[in-house]
Amino acid sequence: MNILVVGGGGREHALCWALAKSPNCSKLYCAPGNAGIAEVAECVEVSVEDVEGLVSFAKDNAIELVIVGPEAPLVLGLVDALTAEGIKAFGPSAAAAELEGSKAFMKDLFAKYNIPTAAYGNFTDYDEAVAYVEQQGAPIVIKASGLAAGKGVILAQTEAEAVAALDQMMNQKSFGEAGDEVVVEEFLDGEEASFFALVDGETALPLISAQDHKAAYDGDKGPNTGGMGAYSPAPVVTTELAQEIMETIIQPTIDGMAAEGCPYKGVLFAGLMIKDGKPKTLEFNVRFGDPECQVLMARLDSDLVEALDAAATGRLNEIELAWRDEAAMVVVMAAAGYPGAYDKGSEIKNLEQANAIDGVTVFHAGTTAEDSKILASGGRVLGVTALGSDVAEAQSKAYQAVDAIDWKEGFCRRDIGWRAIARNK
């Protein structure tokens, strides 16, 4: 099968790496890809938001399956445009991608189908939002409804902070149109976990659990990022809890989306808060997590082409997935300054030494190749991924690999996996 992957981050490197191993993959392209992806796929210079360009590339190159990594092209309708041309695609339609594209839509779906989540109100009127904050009190959470690159969520400790956030979003338009509507919701405490399921419109096939580390610095301090590291399995998600998540969150969402006339296909990613063994949904994403995808792919022991093709064509009931027993960890190496301003163009050396460590794969995110050099070209730059007999061993191998890499302009957290390791002590 000729396959096109859309995206150019660590998630897409992990997907390409897993797809390339399949006997069902004859030719693999990635748009736009990165320096690491170029080792397993042919990278093509089409941007992820160029829907027309991607569709015409797929037509011209006899692509049989398109796998969409990030949310932006999904929300823009890439899957609809491909489907209209008779090209199979893994990912939701624009209507179904509203689950991530509009938090207000998502929250209303939760309410209608009794899916556990934080109490909330949706507002397009600033004064009404302020009145709701005053009525509920702090701490309280303010979210821009639209896509805001992971930055549109303010955890306000005081009412004044909440009102300032509302002013920023609704009056000052700090997130543009994404803040025209806001969700104001109850602050939940507990432990977060990421839960993934492949979905074909009707059937949902659970993947394994993972835990991300959103804060930039050790001890979960500092600003939120796209994710500084992840591991799988997440011990907070027991087998019983996974079943409860499928029954009370994932399947009702799939059924609800079908009933609303926008059946969901692709991967459904639930961001959960777990307290006293009970899950509540913080958010849905309509794509794989990054960097969670890197640990999922490291542990997958089945043919990814077959599974994603089955999700795209309504045959998931035929698929069973096998996973390695080992735990996996990914440590993200980011450019100094990330998630704020950072420099580009520094050279990264000794990647071969890191990759040579048993069980280690270094996935690239923001990298480019120039002559024979690998240069940093983004905020999150590498995802150093390792398998181990348990999370502690995966962690020690991942940091051994991090230490083998020579990149002075980069940094990483040194405590990825601390919750799982503390739990097992």
Cβ distance to ligand AMP smaller for residue 150 or 345: 150
**Does residue number 214 form part of the binding site for ligand AMP (CB under 6 A)?**
yes
Q: Which is nearer to ligand GLY, 40 or 295 (CB)?
A: 295
Question: Could you tell me where the DSSP H helices lie in 85-203?
Answer: 98-101, 103-112, 126-136, 159-166
Question: What's the CA gap between 334 and 204, in Å, rounded?
Answer: 34
Question: Of ligand GLY, ligand AMP, none, which one does residue 188 interact with (CB within 5 to 8 Å by kind)?
Answer: ligand AMP
Closest to ligand GLY by CB, 290 vs 326, is 290
290 binds, among ligand AMP, ligand GLY, none (CB under 5 to 8 A by kind): ligand GLY
Binding of residue 155 to ligand AMP (CB under 6 A): yes
Q: Which listed residue (100, 283, 292, 309) binds ligand AMP by CB under 6 A?
A: 283
Query: Facing residues of 368 across strands?
Result: 375
Whole-angstrom Cα distance, residue 259 to residue 295? Answer: 33
Q: Which stretch binds ligand AMP (CB under 6 A): 54-62, 182-190, 288-296, 360-368?
A: 182-190
Q: Look-up: residue for tokens 């309280």?
A: 140
Query: Of ligand GLY, ligand AMP, none, which one does residue 141 interact with (CB within 5 to 8 Å by kind)?
Result: ligand AMP
Expressed in angstroms, the distance from the first to the final Cα of the chain is 46
CA 181 to chain centre: 23
In sequence order, which residues have a C-beta less than 8 Å from that of residue 362 and are 6 or more positions away?
36, 351, 354, 355, 382, 383, 384, 385, 401, 405
Neighbours of 262 (CB within 10 A): 18
Site for ligand AMP contains 118 (CB under 6 A)? yes
Within 179-208, the residues that bind ligand GLY by CB under 6 A are: none
396: nearest Cα among 377, 415, 411 = 415
12 near ligand GLY, judged by CB under 6 A: no
187 binds, among ligand AMP, ligand GLY, none (CB under 5 to 8 A by kind): ligand AMP
281 binds ligand GLY (CB under 6 A): no
Candidate ranges 184-192, 257-265, 313-321, 393-401; the one touching ligand AMP (CB under 6 A): 184-192
The H or E element spanning position 89 is strand 88-90
- Residue 326 within binding range of ligand AMP, rule CB under 6 A: no
CB of 117 to ligand AMP, least distance (A): 8
Report the residue from 185, 200, 292, 409 that binds ligand GLY according to the rule CB under 6 A.
292
By CB under 6 A, tell whether 290 contacts ligand GLY.
Answer: yes
* By CB under 6 A, residue 10 contacts ligand GLY: no
Looking at 94, 96, 156, 188, which residue binds ligand AMP (CB under 6 A)? 188
Q: Where are the beta strands (DSSP E) in 130-275?
A: 140-144, 153-156, 182-186, 191-200, 204-206, 211-212, 215-217, 221-224, 229-232, 265-275
Residue 392 binds ligand AMP (CB under 6 A)? no
Contact between 227 and ligand GLY by CB under 6 A: the answer reads: yes
Q: What is the rounded distance in angstroms from the CA atom of residue 95 to the CA atom of residue 81?
A: 13
- Three-state SS at 35: coil
Q: Specify the stretch interacting with ligand AMP by CB under 6 A; choose among 179-187, 316-324, 402-410, 413-421.
A: 179-187
Q: Distance (Å, rounded) from C-alpha 345 to C-alpha 170?
A: 37
The CA-CA-CA angle for residues 71, 75, 78, to 5°, reads 95
Residue ranges binding ligand AMP (CB under 6 A): 118, 141, 143, 153, 155, 185-188, 192, 214, 271, 282-283
Residue ranges binding ligand GLY (CB under 6 A): 212, 226-227, 285, 289-290, 292
